[in-house]
Amino acid sequence: MNFTPLFTEPFKQKGPAYWFLFSGQNLLVDPSDGMVPYLTDMTELNLKPIRRQYLGALNGRSCYSVELAGDADPPEGMVFQRLRDLFDTMDETFCRIAGLGLQIVHWDQTHQYCGRCGAPTRNKDDERAKLCPKCGLVSYPRISPAIIVAIVKDHQILLARTNRSPTKKGLIAGYVEAGETLEECVRREVREEVGIEVRNIRYFGSQSWPFPSSLMIAFTAEYASGEIRIDKSEIIDADWFAAENLPENPKEGGIGGRLIDWFVDALDA
């Protein structure tokens, strides 16, 4: 499948389009096949759109995102599902479009007025941006970078349980702060959350993380020094785990799961 992101419709298209309809962070899907509605006219669904955005073309067919009310009822035979839960099961291309859609819906919703002078904004004609007609401020979709890091010591990996997801042992992660490099962010997050120092920080990969507007940048690192000392406001517990000893987790999807696979595979190699 071939998806081309676009911010305006290149031409008025006849025929069906793909509709990515969001109620909060929940996407409307058919539970039998996980697909989004594919319709010529979304009024068939009897839902009240708040705003609609063009996302691009999938195999020549238009894709739209639509913001619905937070309490919208799904049409018969369909359900609203948390996009985050769909992220591991949905077709990769649909997942990418849905992720883009959620970010654009969120951006459109939160940039109706200029952040500098408060005047109503309008969409720019030549790029995905909002323009303030009064003071000229241009606002792009905001992307907040976050790091996630696999720390290895003597063939063991550091996993922690956080207050945010207490049922799962996962990797250290956190948002990049203003003025920081990615490597500085890795060192700071690791130091703050588990009190150790790391070295040999290496880029691993990245993943769009549209909840609602992040980019997850993954690293590997080696333990350098210190004893685990957890920040109790964020971390419940943290420890080193050998590959044959990894805790039973709910399936870790996305780049965090790929980092753990990397650790396991590195030992087999």
Piece of the chain touching Zn ion by CB under 5 A; list 56-64, 70-78, 108-116, 178-186? 108-116
Least CB distance to Zn ion at residue 114 (A) = 3
Beta strands 138-139 and 144-153: pairing type? unpaired
184-187 CB contacts, 8 Å cutoff, 24+ apart: 185/147, 186/147, 186/149, 186/219, 186/221
* Count of residues interacting with Zn ion (CB under 5 A): 8
**Site membership for Zn ion, residue 48 (CB under 5 A):** no
Element (H, E) at 222: strand 214-225
114 binds Zn ion (CB under 5 A): yes
Closest approach of Cβ 103 to Zn ion, in Å?
23
Counting contacts by CB under 5 A, is residue 142 touching Zn ion?
Answer: no
137 touches Zn ion (CB under 5 A) = yes
Q: Which of 1, 69, 79, 117 binds Zn ion (CB under 5 A)?
A: 117
Is 194 a binder of Zn ion (CB under 5 A)?
Answer: no
**Checking DSSP bridges between strand 144-153 and strand 214-225, what pairing results, if any?**
parallel
Smallest gap from Cβ 137 to Zn ion, in A, equals 5
What is the Cα–Cα distance from 203 to 147, expressed in whole angstroms? Answer: 10
Q: Which residues of 37-64 are buried (b: 16+ CB within 10 A; e: fewer)?
A: beeeebeebebebeeebbbbbbeeebbb
Q: How far apart are CA 221 and CA 198, in angstroms?
A: 6
Instruction: Tell me the window of 84-92, 131-139, 145-153, 228-236 that interacts with Zn ion (CB under 5 A).
Output: 131-139
Question: How near is the Cβ of 134 to Zn ion at its closest, in Å?
Answer: 5
Our finding on whether 131 is near Zn ion (CB under 5 A) is no
SS3 155: coil
CB of 113 to Zn ion, least distance (A): 8
* Residue 116 sits in the site that holds Zn ion (CB under 5 A): yes
The C-alpha atoms of residue 124 and residue 131 are separated, in whole angstroms, by: 6
CB nearer to Zn ion: pick between 132 and 152: 132
Torsion angle in degrees (nearest 10) through CA of 102, 104, 109, 115:
140
**Does residue 95 bind Zn ion (CB under 5 A)?**
no
Distance CA 140, CA 190 (A): 31
- Considering only residues 1, 135, 138, 267, which one is a binding residue for Zn ion as defined by CB under 5 A? 135
Nearer residue to Zn ion within complex by CB, 114 or 149: 114
Note the residues at the interface with Zn ion (CB under 5 A): 114, 116-117, 119, 132, 134-135, 137
